């Protein structure tokens, strides 16, 4: 268990020992297995991990967006107020007003039969006591704020008339409709081309500065975290395995899984035809109960202790947390 930090000013979201169990057919998936982290006002946290690492499920749990069959335990507090277990009606008041989320697939998140202006107007009116006309004017402002050219004309268009990048901007506009204090972007740029991805990430950071929001972005891409986040948390098999401010982490990666992720990325400065360093195997069965470290089977640094007891996520150096009995040594830099 990570050391408890007393609540400091500027702390926005506090997640403690979060566990999520999901039913999939007749199996129980232990998607999140004891997750603790903090997000401060105006900061950007990147949650990085592969498919099935629990990064998306943990954020959906915080937002109360999991199906009713999901079993969520632990604590998630927004400015000290507990979010887990809130009645639906009360949670809906927070959603949009305090917390908002942008998803990977804007096509499925937008209603294809409604003009985009109407969709934004509706999102505004759900939380603010504005007339339709006032909300509409605010919707056009939001479209301008997310740098959509000819916002007044786009207002009257349908989602299919927009490109993927423009649809994602509309989703961001909807998420911003009521000035949330925390914006969670779940693989929001994964489906986009690289030039569009750069534009959307820049936009998110600009909006964050303008509006003083905290930003949590979920990604499978450690490079994106390196380029845009203040702090990075790496997840594997439902747990956080390493967490640090971005520069600290990339200066000295400690958890062998983080190192494996980092080394496997094709980099522009690597010579052509070089083999990428890879770890064998695949992530463990999410329904299995692990004994010891869940990465032990694939880990180049494995020791007997790793198969017996799971290493806790602890602060070993200033602001640098890792969960490993045999971490990578100083001298190897990302």
Q: Is 51 or 69 the residue whose CB approaches other proteins more closely?
A: 51
What distances in angstroms separate CA 68 from CA 64, 87, 96, 101, 125, one per listed residue? 9, 12, 20, 19, 27
DSSP β-bridge partners for residue 18: 35
Q: What is the CA angle 72-78-84, rounded to 5? A: 20
CB 58 within 8 A of CB 47: yes
What is the rounded CA–CA span in Å between residue 112 and residue 110? Answer: 6
* Cα dihedral across residues 240, 242, 245, 247: positive or negative: negative
Neighbours of 83 (CB within 10 A): 21
Q: Is 89 or 275 the residue whose CB approaches other proteins more closely?
A: 275
Q: Is 140 or 260 the residue whose CB approaches other proteins more closely?
A: 260
| Site residues, other proteins (CB under 8 A) | 50-51, 163-166, 193-199, 201-202, 220-224, 226-228, 246-247, 250, 260-262, 264-279, 282, 334
Q: Is 128 or 198 the residue whose CB approaches other proteins more closely?
A: 198
User: How near is the Cβ of 63 to other proteins at its closest, in Å?
Assistant: 24
List b or e across 29-50, with b for residues whose CB sees 16 or more CB atoms inside 10 angstroms: bbbbbbbbbbbbebbbbbbbbe
Q: Is 3 or 247 the residue whose CB approaches other proteins more closely?
A: 247
User: How near is the Cβ of 248 to other proteins at its closest, in Å?
Assistant: 10
User: How near is the Cβ of 298 to other proteins at its closest, in Å?
Assistant: 9
User: How near is the Cβ of 293 to other proteins at its closest, in Å?
Assistant: 17
User: How near is the Cβ of 254 to other proteins at its closest, in Å?
Assistant: 16
């Amino acid at each position: 268990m990570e050391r408890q930090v007393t609540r400091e000013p500027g702390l926005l979201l506090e997640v403690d020992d979060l566990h999520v169990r999901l039913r999939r057919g007749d199996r129980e998936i232990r998607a999140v297995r004891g997750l603790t982290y903090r997000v401060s006002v105006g900061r950007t946290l990147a949650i990085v991990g592969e498919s099935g690492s629990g990064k998306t499920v943990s954020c959906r749990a915080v937002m109360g967006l999991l199906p009713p069959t999901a079993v969520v335990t632990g604590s998630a507090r927004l400015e000290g107020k507990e979010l887990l277990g809130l009645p639906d009606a009360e949670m809906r008041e927070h959603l949009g007003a305090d917390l908002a989320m942008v998803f990977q697939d804007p096509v499925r998140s937008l209603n294809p039969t409604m003009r985009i202006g109407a969709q934004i107007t509706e999102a505004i009116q759900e939380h603010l006591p504005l007339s339709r006309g006032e909300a509409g004017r605010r919707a056009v402002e939001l479209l301008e704020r997310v740098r959509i050219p000819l916002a007044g004309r786009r207002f009257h268009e349908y989602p299919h008339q927009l490109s993927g990048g423009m649809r994602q901007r509309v989703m961001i506009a909807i998420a911003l409709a009521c000035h949330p204090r925390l914006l969670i972007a779940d693989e929001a740029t994964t489906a986009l081309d690289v030039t569009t991805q750069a534009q959307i990430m820049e936009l998110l950071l600009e909006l964050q500065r303008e509006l003083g929001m905290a930003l949590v972005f979920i990604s499978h891409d450690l490079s994106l975290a390196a380029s845009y986040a203040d702090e990075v948390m790496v997840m594997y098999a439902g747990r956080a395995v390493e967490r640090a401010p971005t520069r600290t982490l990339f200066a000295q990666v400690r958890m062998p899984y983080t190192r494996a992720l980092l080394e496997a990325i094709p980099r522009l400065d690597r010579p052509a035809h070089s083999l990428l360093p890879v770890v064998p195997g695949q992530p463990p069965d999410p329904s299995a109960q692990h004994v010891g470290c869940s990465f032990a089977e694939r880990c180049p640094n494995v020791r007997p202790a790793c198969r017996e007891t799971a290493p806790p996520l602890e602060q070993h150096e200033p602001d640098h947390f890792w969960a490993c009995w045999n971490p990578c040594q100083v001298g190897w830099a990302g």
